[in-house]
Amino acid sequence: VSCWKKCNTHKPFHCSWPPLGPAGSTSYILNLCFEKRSLCRRFEVGTVTNYSPSHRQVYIFDNTTAWVEARWGDQVRRTPNHTLHLNEAVKLDPPPAGMPFSKTGGQLRVRVPRPQCHGLEQPPQHEARFWREGDSGWTQVTCETLMVTAEEDSVTCALGVNGTFVVQLRHKPPHWSSYWSDWSSNISVPEEILRRPVLSHQLGKLGRDGQRVLRLSWQPVLKEQRDVTYKLDVNMLACGCAESDEEDTVVLGGEVTEHSLTLSGAEYEILLTALNAAGPGPAQQLRVPAEQRADLSFKEISVAGSTVTAQWEAPVPGSAFCFEQQTLPEPPEQGVCIQQEFPANSIHVQRGKGAPHAPRCPPSRGALGAPGCHRLAVHGWDAERGWATFALWHRYASNDSLDVPFNISAGDAAVVLRWQPSPRAACPGALAKYLVCHAAEGDNVTYSEVDAAASNYTLQNLQPGTGYRVGVWEVTEDSERTCSAWWPFQTKALGPQGAPWRGNLKYLGISLGLPAAAAIYHLSKRRARRLLFPPLPKPVGSKAIQFSAGEMSQVRSELLLTEPNPSEEKTDTGTQTEVPHPDVSQPGPALEKPAAVAMSPPGCGEELPFAYRRQEMLSPVGSPASGSTSCTGHPPGEEEEDEEEEEEGRQGLHQPLIPIALLISDKPIIIRDEEGWDPPPEQSVP
């Protein structure tokens, strides 16, 4: 059973309980017992499951125990006892719809109005339940409540992971006897924006009207762009006028992915932020530097003591202007913003900080006497045109010398000079250029102009092994065009190797000589082998050796080393052992040739025994007669060509064996190996 009352109302309490028996046939009795009064009251309520006792029937400042009895037929049932304090038994209305909220890092923050309830001194407690697409049911969490004001509380609920949620809230007073309110209506929480917009830009040049155009474009941060908006915050760092603050924020729809801004020549900070119902995502920052234009100048600038006086003209009418005085590259300072209507072509005088009175004291920041780059500018504002720059001026204050320290890398005919960029180069208009001067000993000085943005220069067409002097100087608008060549250096000599073309000729000779030598070796290799190692003829197609039947019968199988016959040697040294001529018949009985051998070509003897079948015999002196045919059936010319091919294929084989002689009768026969090796004439066979 539960009994509660509404906040700030005199209506009676409302008590209710669940059904305990059959509907329509069960009667209920509500029992209330008051602790301090030792008194109980019974309320017969019939068959309904709720009852509202009046304030006169109960004691609200005592702890009260309540229970319900149910009867149907012979059955009796009752609820458990429930203790409550009726004065604190308050049930609040559910949180209203349309509450502002945000979501960051899985934390939902809701701004909940404080219930206007008498005696509610502490913020109420809050709970939330949420459902995400794909979930099977509600997830309930406890929220933290922080009092922001007397009328509003900040409620933070942890939803966990990112996604699209449906959330409901409820609350209750902190007293133990109070009741939770009903759940609020649905709060649709979209997907949180976690990344910055990818921003690209194009910045135009500052025109004569003192304005430039900044074109911005970006990519969508979410696939669903329906509830997304983009906010552009434009902040001119040097000036901030109250009238123009409203114009510094631009809100664009989610379908917009590009926008153009009209800016003055001052320095700007641009912030692009994507927002949806869950709140803003991280902002993308763009820093737009200040710009210089020579024809936007002051009419007159004078420095007297600690005051600088600048006179300028307004080309167009406006309602406010800003006088900017900066020391670069220090962070920008807020300029002087003057809310004042001015007509076109009006002349104005503005005073700022000049050089300090006492030079020994450190100059204040922004004073023109302080070292560094000083910038003076005037920007005017109009509701239709926005901001525009009317006048610009830069001055570099320094006692540093205009002489530039540099490094030298010397060669034989050229020298490279390198130096660190001058601080004046970062100050617009302060550095006009660099002047490089050099001269050989006893020659005139040569001058060269170098761009102010450069940091190196090459001196060319120098004489090798010659001494020079060189100098690099800065040229400013108010300085004289002077340059002193005082730094000496020496170009490298060519050395004993002579002119450079000789080395090139050496490499050219090597690159051409190697291929030529290889070609000559390839062409002469085959011819030299034929001349130095000519092939020996085979004893085919010759009658130099023919055996009779008697001689064949005397063949013995032992192999003996041949002995030279002095009677058959010639007196000239280096001649070969004589071999009988093919036309001279040998002594001995004539051989009887079989019919099969009679058909053989001339010079092809009978087939030798098996022991000699694979041996080749010494060929006779001289070439065979033209038209003769070898035993193989090929002409001799073809045999020689075949032998040349075989000779080429035998390169790299082992050395031929020493010839051996076979004693057949009393005739020494020379047996050579298959490669046709024959001992030289001057070498005797052992």
CATH number at residue 321: 2.60.40.4070
Residue 104: per-residue pLDDT: 85
Are both 61 and 108 inside the same structural domain? no
Residue 562: per-residue pLDDT: 42
Which domain-ending residue is among 355, 374, 397?
A: 397
The secondary structure of 534-589, three-state, reads CCCCCCCCCCCCCCCHHHHHCECCCCECCCCCHHHCCCCCCCCCCCCCCCCCCCCC
Handedness of CA 73, 79, 83, 84 (dihedral sign): negative
Greatest mean pLDDT among 363-377, 451-465, 538-552 lies in 451-465
Are both 556 and 615 inside the same structural domain? yes
The secondary structure of 267-326, three-state, reads CEEEEEEEEECCEECCCEEEEECCCCCCCCCCCEEEEECCEEEEEEEECCCEEEEEEEEE
Residue 171: per-residue pLDDT: 95
Rg, the chain, Cα only? 60
Best CA proximity match to 458, nearest among 470, 443, 473: 470
| Residue 340 domain flag | yes
Are both 311 and 456 inside the same structural domain? no
Weakest mean pLDDT among 283-292, 341-350, 496-505, 614-623: 614-623
Q: Is the pLDDT of residue 29 over 50?
A: yes
Mean pLDDT (whole number) for 40-62: 89
Q: Is the pTM here over 0.75, yes or no? A: no
Residue 592: per-residue pLDDT: 39
Q: Is the pLDDT of residue 96 over 50?
A: yes
Weakest mean pLDDT among 142-156, 360-374, 548-562: 548-562
Residue 581: per-residue pLDDT: 40
| Residue 275 domain flag | no
| Residue 107 domain flag | yes
Are both 414 and 485 inside the same structural domain? yes
pLDDT digits (tens, 9 = 90+) for 114-150: 888 877 788 899 999 999 887 888 999 999 999 888 8
Are both 307 and 385 inside the same structural domain? yes
| Residue 241 domain flag | no
Number of Cβ within 10 Å of residue 541's Cβ equals 24
Q: How far apart are CA 324 and CA 318, in angstroms?
A: 17
The secondary structure of 72-87, three-state, reads ECCEEEECCCEEEECC
Report which of residues 256 and 548 the model is more confident about.
256
Q: Is the pLDDT of residue 160 over 60?
A: yes
**172 and 122 in contact (C-beta within 8 Å)?**
no
Are both 392 and 470 inside the same structural domain? no
Q: Is the pLDDT of residue 375 over 70?
A: yes
Report which of residues 603 and 254 the model is more confident about.
254
pLDDT band at 431 (very low <50, low <70, confident <90, very high): confident
The neighbouring-strand residues paired with 338 are 321
Are both 162 and 49 inside the same structural domain? no
User: Which amino acid type is present at position 457?
Assistant: Y
| Residue 649 domain flag | no
Which domain-ending residue is among 397, 427, 447?
A: 397
Mean pLDDT (whole number) for 397-420: 86
Number of structural domains found in the chain:
5
Residue 138: per-residue pLDDT: 92
Are both 26 and 136 inside the same structural domain? no
Mean pLDDT (whole number) for 447-473: 90
Structure token digits, residue 124: 């109420």
| Residue 246 domain flag | no
Q: Is 318 left (phi over 0), alpha (psi -120 to 50) or beta?
A: beta
Residue 674: per-residue pLDDT: 46
Are both 542 and 667 inside the same structural domain? yes
Are both 356 and 425 inside the same structural domain? no
Report which of residues 620 and 271 the model is more confident about.
271
pLDDT digits (tens, 9 = 90+) for 258-306: 999 999 999 999 999 999 888 888 999 999 998 888 888 888 888 776 6
Q: How far apart are CA 424 and CA 675, in angstroms?
A: 93
Segments forming the whole domain that contains residue 342:
300-397
Residue 70: per-residue pLDDT: 95
Are both 167 and 119 inside the same structural domain? yes
Which domain-ending residue is among 373, 397, 421?
A: 397
Mean pLDDT (whole number) for 193-204: 91
Mean pLDDT (whole number) for 379-388: 89
In the chain, DSSP finds a helix count (H) and a strand count (E) of: 4, 41
Residue 378: per-residue pLDDT: 92
| Residue 24 domain flag | yes
Residue 596: per-residue pLDDT: 36
| Residue 360 domain flag | yes
Residue 486: per-residue pLDDT: 81
Q: Is the pLDDT of residue 578 over 70?
A: no
CATH number at residue 22: 2.60.40.10
Are both 384 and 415 inside the same structural domain? no
Q: What is the average pLDDT value for the chain, to the nearest integer?
A: 76
pLDDT digits (tens, 9 = 90+) for 491-546: 888 765 445 555 566 667 777 778 888 878 777 776 666 676 666 665 554 454 55
